[in-house]
Structure 1
Amino acid sequence: MTVLSEAVLADPVALTRALCDIPSVSGDEAAICDAVEAALGRIERLKVERVGNTLVARTELGRERRVMLAGHLDTVPVNDNFPTRLDGDVLWGLGTSDMKSGTALALWIAATVAEPKFDLSFAFYDCEEIEAERNGLNRLAKSRPELLAADFAILLEPTYGLVEAGCQGTMRARVTTRGRRAHSARSWKGENAIHKAAALLDRLNAYDAREVVVDGCAYREGLNAVFIGGGVAGNVVPDECWVEVNYRFAPDRDEAAAEAHLREVFDGFDFAVTDSAPSCRPGLDRPEAAEFVAAAGGEFRAKLGWTDVARFATLGIPAVNFGPGDPNLAHKQDERVELPRIRACADSLLAYVTEES
């Protein structure tokens, strides 16, 4: 088992690299969860609970407020970018941006801050990068919501050191066209379902995505085909073709409204939702969020993407995204993080949880 030494835990840069060099593609987080659990277990002031490959640690200091710091442990699959390599002030490799540099900051705060001004909770969870039903934070929200209780939450997703508020919702659906099989030598006796999909793709090409301002944050929606399939054999006119679409919707729509919109867009086609996760409004009118924005430099923007701030929102907990990684590098082969960004975000978080306002 990888051991995270006291020296590594005391340095957010070294800790980022150590976490990135533990493989943890979604569904294979046991090793990294073991390492984090062992590190947290050495800290007497923390109460630690493990549920599967998700960990929650809490202080019980009797403070008036509780703040949650959360980060996922998993990554997308390896793409010739593991293990890490250091080039000057840039750390390259899988997970450096999304989001082990942020997760490392939560672990660093847990390991080094003995007297925070808030009680602190920390969530390190699995399966964020895959379907919602396997998401560790989602499972806790349903089965052990008391472990996530807090007055405010900071999700350490990549934001390049700027507070990103709220998030888009995401919905995937399968849209199906149907025909009638026939021998391709006598194709006029059948109906080609793949050809019928042309009308579906025309709708997607013509789709005009909304741009919406919600609570001062500008969100742009998107609707795209992400998979397509069909066909029976090389000499058969196919009787079925399907297109999977992904809709990213602004936080002025909930999941029911998003589904209703898609059913309108694809009226006349067979339609079924395959996966969905809610949007989250910015919530910057909440004093807890406003206080953190001020501590992090006062600037903010919309989160273009889905994150687990939506999980906290469903529990009534205001939450924002904040982390050192560049969101534009998430899931890319050339993923990387700048060391000065890690240190700057570490300074902001440390000041927020220790300095009296």
Structure 2
Amino acid sequence: MPPDQALDLSLDVSGDTVALLEQLVNIESVSRNEQRIADAVEAVLRPLAHLEVSRHGNTVVARTALDNSSGRGERVVIAGHLDTVPLNDNLPAVHGQQDGREVLRGLGTCDMKGGVAVMLKLAATVPAPNRDLTYLFYESEEIETEYNGLHLLSQSDPDLLAADFAILMEPSDAVIEGGCQGTLRVDVTARGERAHSARSWMGVNAIHRAGEILDRLNAYQARMPVIDGLEYHEGLNAVGITGGVAGNVLPDVCTVSVNYRFAPDRSEAEAAAYVREFFSGFETVVTDSAPGALPGLDRPAAKEFVEAVGGEVNPKFGWTDVARFSALGVPAVNFGPGDPMLAHKQEEYVPVEQVHRCESVLRTWLTAGPSVGPSVGLGG
């Protein structure tokens, strides 16, 4: 029986955000099984007069449409995915302590229902923000791109992703992580000639030839560009190797799988060209690729957000969906409660303080300064 079978799937946005988070966690939503949680989110948002709500599969979009006669005219996307990885005996959610801090444990607490709870609370309780907002509660981030809600929206309704700035509420320890690095995987192949190992001088050992590939990798000097004041650290690493025919045969093929993590000032094409040049003389085939995302910290909305958080910004070395916004020309950052190192782990948890901090920072940023009207809420 699913953990939420006997639970009330309605969501209460009038109380504490951690209580809302617990309700969200207890609605099991493994990838491709997000209908119930999407229904619950939609049920909260649909009656709110300040939001235009639309449903796209199991992705829920809620947008404000402010009178921008004041000249603000700025739109920010706040996005979070509703799905989780498969259960691992970690539902329902439980309250506990970790290193002297109050935490909530359970599947999705960190990745990323903590961020979703903050989003939902703000969407429901900030009816007159100081800039237009688009809240994206999307499906299937944890699996193949073809199911990803942001990807599907970019194909069917790209206007819904249009914005001046985007915040992806992936876990970042409640600190801004700017943009993200791109990732490229290539197969680098050394070729030789088969021969009997007893007469090895009659052939060419492809595995031995692949030693030069590894030598080049060992000599690699990481590029560390500074972008918007953030220092990114690229990486080029062998992640797999295949070769061999039989115990008495010189192999004629040896392939090294290499992963290149490249800074967001390089396009996928530039990254591929760099790797091909690096392995010049060997066959190099791109097997997988995803672009990076520029942080865009020079944009007005980004500058104000950095100031609201406290000025600390770290580069994002992994890949996240901020790259999808960057591909559409929308600068983006990661900012959400939870330690990303706990994502997908059985002991996943989120500190209660970080949930409250993220909500407080965003609420202040969205209500301070010029505004189209009074901001009211249902409680904190």
Give the TM bin, normalised by the shorter chain: 0.7 to 0.9
* CA drift at 1:339: 0.4
Residue 98 and residue 178 in structure 1: after superposition, are their counterparts in 2 closer, same or farther (change >3 A)?
A: farther
In structure 1, list runs of 5 or more residues that go unmatched. none
Alignment of 1:19-34 (within 5 A): 19-34=24-39
Query: Which position in structure 1 is the counterpart of 2:76?
Result: 67
Residue 133 and residue 334 in structure 1: after superposition, are their counterparts in 2 closer, same or farther (change >3 A)?
A: same
Deviates more, 1:52-61 or 1:208-217: 52-61
**2:287 maps to 1:282:** no
RMSD of aligned C-alpha atoms? Answer: 3.1
TM (normalized to structure 1)? 0.86
Q: Give the Cα–Cα distance (whole angstroms) in 1 for the partners of residues 57 and 201 of structure 2.
A: 56
* CA drift at 1:216: 0.8
Q: Is this contact kept in 2: 1:10–1:108, CA < 8 A?
A: no
Post-superposition CA distance 1:153-183 (Å, at most 9, x none) = 2111222122222221122223334456678
Query: Which position in structure 1 is the counterpart of 2:374?
Result: none
Query: Which position in structure 2 is the counterpart of 1:16?
Result: 21
What is the aligned counterpart of 2:113 among 87, 100, 108? 100
Alignment of 1:290-301 (within 5 A): 290-301=303-314
**2:93 maps to 1:84:** yes
Deviates more, 1:286-295 or 1:10-19: 10-19
Q: Is this contact kept in 2: 1:10–1:112, CA < 8 A?
A: no
Query: Which position in structure 2 is the counterpart of 1:219?
Result: 232
* CA drift at 1:290: 0.7
* CA drift at 1:259: 0.8
Alignment of 1:58-207 (within 5 A): 58-63=63-68, 64-79=73-88, 81-88=90-97, 89-179=102-192, 193=206, 196-207=209-220
* CA drift at 1:217: 0.7
Q: Is this contact kept in 1: 2:227–2:265, CA < 8 A?
A: yes
User: Match of 1:200, SS?
Assistant: helix
Q: Give the Cα–Cα distance (whole angstroms) in 1 for the partners of residues 249 and 126 of structure 2.
A: 67
* CA drift at 1:152: 2.4
Post-superposition CA distance 1:109-154 (Å, at most 9, x none) = 1222223222321112233334445432123223311111223221
2:22 corresponds to which letter in structure 1?
A: R
Q: Give the Cα–Cα distance (whole angstroms) in 2 for the partners of residues 190 and 15 of structure 1.
A: 67
Q: Is this contact kept in 2: 1:161–1:323, CA < 8 A?
A: yes
Identity of aligned residues (%): 60
2:226 corresponds to which letter in structure 1?
A: V
Q: Is this contact kept in 2: 1:212–1:218, CA < 8 A?
A: yes
Q: Is this contact kept in 2: 1:185–1:235, CA < 8 A?
A: yes
Post-superposition CA distance 1:32-80 (Å, at most 9, x none) = 3333333333434432223233221212333433221101223345555
In structure 2, list runs of 5 or more residues that go unmatched. 371-380
Whose radius of gyration is greater, 1 or 2?
2
Residue 217 and residue 349 in structure 1: after superposition, are their counterparts in 2 closer, same or farther (change >3 A)?
A: same
